[in-house]
């Protein structure tokens, strides 16, 4: 919005409802690699699906 309370062109794409409101479950995507989580975030961000970057244990060989 501008300083006078008017909607500017392009503001509609910033508006998003809470996709989890009233739901008992939530959807998350977990990725084991940083590069994979970045790619998944690029695909899923518009849908409001959060991507978690999880890291496992390093190789002990």
Tell me which DSSP letter residue 9 carries.
T
Of 11, 16, 33, 22, the closest CA to residue 52 belongs to: 33
Q: What is the residue extent of each domain of the chain?
A: 23-47
pLDDT above 70 (res 3): no
Top-confidence residue, 32 or 61: 32
Q: What is the pLDDT of residue 58?
A: 66
Question: From CA 48, how far away is CA 28, in angstroms rounded?
Answer: 10
**Are the CB atoms for 35 and 16 separated by under 8 Å?**
no
Long-range contacts of the stretch 49-57 (C-beta < 8 A, 24+): 52/28, 54/30, 56/32
**Digit-coded pLDDT (tens) for 9-58:** 777 777 777 777 888 988 899 988 888 888 999 999 888 889 998 876 66
């Amino acid at each position: 919005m501008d300083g006078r309370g008017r909607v500017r062109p392009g503001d509609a794409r910033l508006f998003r409802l809470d996709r989890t409101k009233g739901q008992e479950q939530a959807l998350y995507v977990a990725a084991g690699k940083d590069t994979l989580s970045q790619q998944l975030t690029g695909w899923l961000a518009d849908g409001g699906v959060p991507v978690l970057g999880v890291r496992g244990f390093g190789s002990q060989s």
